[in-house]
A and B are shown apart, each in its own frame.
Chain A
Amino acid sequence: MILKNLLSEKRAAILERWFEMVLDSYPVDTSSFLKQQKNQFANPVGAAISQGINGIFEELLSGKDSDTISTFLDNIIRVRAVQDFTPSQAVAFIFHLKKVIREELEKEISENQLSDELFAIEARIDKMAMLSFDIYVKCREKIYDIKANELRNMTFRLLQRANLICELSEPEQALIDSKNLNVKRKEVTK
């Protein structure tokens, strides 16, 4: 795999450009902060992106499909899912990698006729993009869950004290779950 070797050689340049491109999606004042502040606790967003793209790149080179890739993608997407981005903007960073690779290795790819290898690498990036979309949706669903849970928790004790909630036996609970219902209302007979 000539291309993999080239990618490995140019790792530093590719990662730097990719990092810059991701940060360019933020306002100028913000991106300069995200780039300059190196302390991971003072700058968790910059750290998540930097560590995340490093990890993703390593996974790409390794050629293996592992769970680790989801973790790296999750660390970045979880942040971008609550920032000022549309869904497509939030996950667009993964496609930037294609652009960076093509631009950084343009000469080598044409000289060595590596289009097949490039296609294989890009197919892997596309797969990561699909995974990214799944992660993004999960993050947003989590937000909706948290909102719903907060409301439920706020009223739970009140309903409990007012005797409007009943405990379910396990078979009953299984029945409810199977019908995709979470709450069973007890009729007030008073």
Chain B
Amino acid sequence: MDKVYKAGAKVAQFLQFLGNAVTKRIFRLGFAARFFVAIFLQSGTAFRRFNLTSREVYFSGVLSLIIILVSGLFVGMVLGLQGYDTLQRYGSTEALGILVALSLVRELGPVVAALLFASRAGSAITAEIGLMKATEQLSAMEMMAVNPIARVVAPRFWGGVVSMPLLAALFSAMGVLGGYLVGVKLIGVDEGSFWSQMQASVDFQKDILNGVIKSFVFGIIISWVAVFEGYDADPTAEGVSRATTRTVVTSSLAILAADFILTAFMFTGA
């Protein structure tokens, strides 16, 4: 009888733990959704005083340029090598330009740039807002009758949203340059066919615009996750560190999931 009671208590304890974990996450998701709406409602200052937003474009966009440009160049160079190796089996090495360009503008540009942006800028935004919270700077701002969502959060959010498509475009451009250097200059693919085939096959709306839309959506996801995690961080050193880690993990997974959904809508069918 005693054993039955003990087993029952363990099951109840497990269910309690499970229920607690699930409800906590649902509450947090609800808070994140309300926070997202609050950012939009409080975005007036970020647009009216655009210098606040452009400062954030500098911090999250311009300061991410090195990692984005260097990574783009190397990804393009690897694509050039791998693409040439595959295409030569079918005797169509002149299509290397198309392969490099389409891979970059459709997929690798937006996704890899977004993953890098989440690690470089997203984590920095979370850490900054989290530390402002831990050192009572956000409370001080509230006591000065200045809304921290309007003054601190919204400019950082829009700074990230504006930066992301620009960084993805630069990543793709550098990737194409890397593919060109390896394919044309190093291996010796015909320069004319590399560029002309690329020009003929890459469609502005279907390929480039869809890539831009993807990177815009990724920008919203990363910026939202970053500002929310910073604002919701426990105001301790450990809390900020955890929030920063969560930003990178959550936004990376969300980018990959969103990429699959967007690709399914954009590139399937005709």
A-B complex is real: no
- A contact set with B: CB distance below 8 Å: none
- B contact set with A: CB distance below 8 Å: none
